[in-house]
Amino acid sequence: MAIITKITTQRKNQDRFNIFMDYGKGKGEEYAFSVDIEVLIKFQLKKGMELDDFSFLEIQYQDDIRKAYNLAINYLARRMRAEKEIKDYLIQKEIDEPIINEILHRLIAQKYINDEEYAFAYVRTQANTTYKGPNAVKRELKEKEIEERILVKALKEFPLEQQIEKATKISEKFFQKNAKESLKIQKQKLENLLLRKGFSYEVINIAVNETEVNKDNDEGMEAIRFQGEKAARKYNKFSGYEYEQKMKQALYRKGFSMDLIEKFLLEIENHD
């Protein structure tokens, strides 16, 4: 049976201790293992204490739990985490599943992790600091394995009024950036953008229509002039009826109405 001959504090970590033992094989004192201070106290390790194989394995197992617990606590110190995030982090650190389960149980009991509180905080943060819609936020929380019942409650932190306000701001910026395209094409691209960002069709329709109403009537002419000039350069080798038809087809494919197209063609005809 091995006997503890010396216990020293680690220089780089004052909460861990090196254990030296004599295994009775004529080799004298040897470094055996290290333990966390909590494990040292729990097993009352001291000089002269005898350890059998079972005690050694139990000490090592408890120390593995303590090391994994410290990893999880340090990971949590940066920000709130969902239970799955802690689990994935410990798996990445190659911690055994029984130890991970023990750590999660302990952290939940100590209220260091709480998926419901996490979900509420996550929804509020995403609603206030990003341009994501509720469907995108919901998808992200589902990836973190937040329960459906929690999702339903947490998403109430992202009310309809705030969704419309956020989608409208996106729409205003989008229309400004894409003013040289037809309104039809702009709306199609904007609706797809808002869908990808996680907004519902209801919110999208309200935001897009509200923004469209505020658009300057001259913007349509500016857009068709820009697209029309490009088309005119492309079809300048044609003339008469054939030129007119090519121009109409090109601008119609770009999403402009026939009324606007006729107005533009008349404008360039008078200019010529």
In tens, the pLDDT along 223-250 reads 777 777 778 788 778 878 787 788 788 8
The answer to whether 115-157 and 220-271 have equal CATH topology is yes
Domain 115-157: give its CATH code. 1.10.10.10
C-alpha to C-alpha distance for 175 and 211, rounded to whole angstroms: 8
Per-residue pLDDT at 218 exceeds 60 = no
Per-residue pLDDT at 51 exceeds 60 = yes
- Maximum Cα–Cα distance across the chain: 110
- Going by C-alpha positions, the residue among 76, 182, 88, 69 that lies closest to residue 144 is 88
Two tokens, residue 69: 């617990």
The pLDDT score that the predictor gives to residue 235 is 79
Q: With respect to CATH, is domain 160-213 assigned 1.10.10.10?
A: yes
Report for 27-41, 209-223, 248-262: range of highest mean pLDDT: 27-41
Residues 245-264, mean pLDDT to the nearest whole number: 77
- 217, 222, 225, 227 alpha-carbon torsion, rounded to 10°: -110
C-alpha to C-alpha distance for 158 and 242, rounded to whole angstroms: 55
C-alpha to C-alpha distance for 123 and 115, rounded to whole angstroms: 12
pLDDT in tens, 173-204: 998 888 778 788 888 999 999 999 999 999 99
The pLDDT score that the predictor gives to residue 239 is 79
The pLDDT score that the predictor gives to residue 213 is 47
Q: Which residue has the higher pLDDT, 211 or 219?
A: 211
Residues 48-63, mean pLDDT to the nearest whole number: 92
Q: Which residue has the higher pLDDT, 182 or 59?
A: 59
The answer to whether 186 touches 171, Cβ cutoff 8 Å, is: no
The pLDDT score that the predictor gives to residue 256 is 76
pLDDT in tens, 98-119: 999 999 999 999 999 999 999 9
Per-residue pLDDT at 207 exceeds 60 = yes
- Beta-carbon contacts of 8 under 8 Å, excluding residues fewer than 6 positions away, are 17, 18, 20
- Strand-pairing partners, residue 18, are 8, 34
The answer to whether 256 touches 182, Cβ cutoff 8 Å, is: yes
The pLDDT score that the predictor gives to residue 270 is 64
- Beta-carbon contacts of 201 under 8 Å, excluding residues fewer than 6 positions away, are 195
- Going by C-alpha positions, the residue among 76, 67, 151, 156 that lies closest to residue 111 is 76
Per-residue pLDDT at 214 exceeds 50 = no
Domain 2-78: give its CATH code. 1.10.10.10
Per-residue pLDDT at 154 exceeds 90 = yes
3 state DSSP class of 35: strand
Pick the CATH number of 220-271 from 3.60.9.10, 1.10.10.10, 2.30.42.10, 3.30.300.160: 1.10.10.10
Per-residue pLDDT at 212 exceeds 80 = no
DSSP letter at 11?
Answer: S
Per-residue pLDDT at 57 exceeds 50 = yes
C-alpha to C-alpha distance for 69 and 57, rounded to whole angstroms: 18
pLDDT in tens, 132-150: 999 999 999 999 999 999 9
What are the domain boundaries of the chain? 2-78, 115-157, 160-213, 220-271
Two tokens, residue 218: 């001259």
C-alpha to C-alpha distance for 192 and 73, rounded to whole angstroms: 41
C-alpha to C-alpha distance for 267 and 225, rounded to whole angstroms: 10
What mean pLDDT is reported for the chain? Answer: 89
Per-residue pLDDT at 45 exceeds 80 = yes
Residue 161, Cα to own-chain centre: how many angstroms?
23
- Helix, strand, coil % (nearest 5) of the chain? 65, 10, 25
